[in-house]
Structure 1
Amino acid sequence: MSKNKEQDDMSKELLRWLEEEDPFGLNEEIKTIIFKCKDCRKEDDVPDFVVHEFGLENKKNQEVKVECPYCGGTMIRAKNNPSD
């Protein structure tokens, strides 16, 4: 078997494995948490794994804060209450 044919077969096998197995979790749904800016009041979806990572540095029961992508202000977790 030629070297090029062997490489092509290996590439095809690798691509087939990546499509079937999804080893990197690319097809998994990303859960998000809605954050609301204290300054501009806009909302943004933040992946839950990001919120978890930011929370590791906080003290117990301390609210996670992220930077607003719209105005640079501080975003906090949005409340489910429409009057927040």
Structure 2
Amino acid sequence: YPIMKDLEKENFLDMGEDEEAYPFGIETDEKTYRYQCLECRFEEDVPRFIIDEFIEDDFFASGCDIENFEVKMPILICPKCNGELVSKNTDE
């Protein structure tokens, strides 16, 4: 299993620098949030609807009502190095 995982990661990274890759699986004109890896500094635009899904999951898991829920941008996993991918947007 670890060998297969390494092969899958290797295939993903071999997409080529000149080719636009979408690790989150979709190309969209929807608003995006800029994320950057704390480890390797890789940057990626993540579609808003993906971030909204994480925030919605946090809301339902929190048990809070909407007035008391504090929205926090989710931390994602970097597709290049598995480090922490954090939001660069400061207006949220």
Unaligned runs of 5+ in 1: 1-27
| Shift in alpha-carbon separation, 1:79–1:33, aligned structure 2, 3 A | closer
**Alignment match, 1:20:** none
Query: 1:38-83 CA distances to partner (integer Å, 9 max, x unpaired)?
Result: 1111111100100111112236233311111111111110146xxx
Amino acid paired to 2:52: H
Of structures 1 and 2, the larger Rg is shown by 1
**Alignment match, 2:44:** 44
Q: Which structure has more RCO (C-alpha within 8 Å, separation ≥ 6)?
A: 2
Alpha-carbon distance, 1:35 to partner = 0.3
| Shift in alpha-carbon separation, 1:79–1:30, aligned structure 2, 3 A | closer
Give runs of aligned pairs for residues 1-84 of structure 1, distance below 5 A.
29-58=29-58, 60-79=70-89
Tell me, in whole angstroms, the C-alpha distance in 2 between the residues paired with 1:72 and 1:66: 9
TM-score, structure 1 normalization: 0.53
Unaligned runs of 5+ in 2: 1-27, 60-69
TM-score, structure 2 normalization: 0.49
Question: What fraction of aligned residue pairs are identical, expressed as a percent?
Answer: 30
Query: 1:11-59 CA distances to partner (integer Å, 9 max, x unpaired)?
Result: xxxxxxxxxxxxxxxxx72221100111111111100100111112236
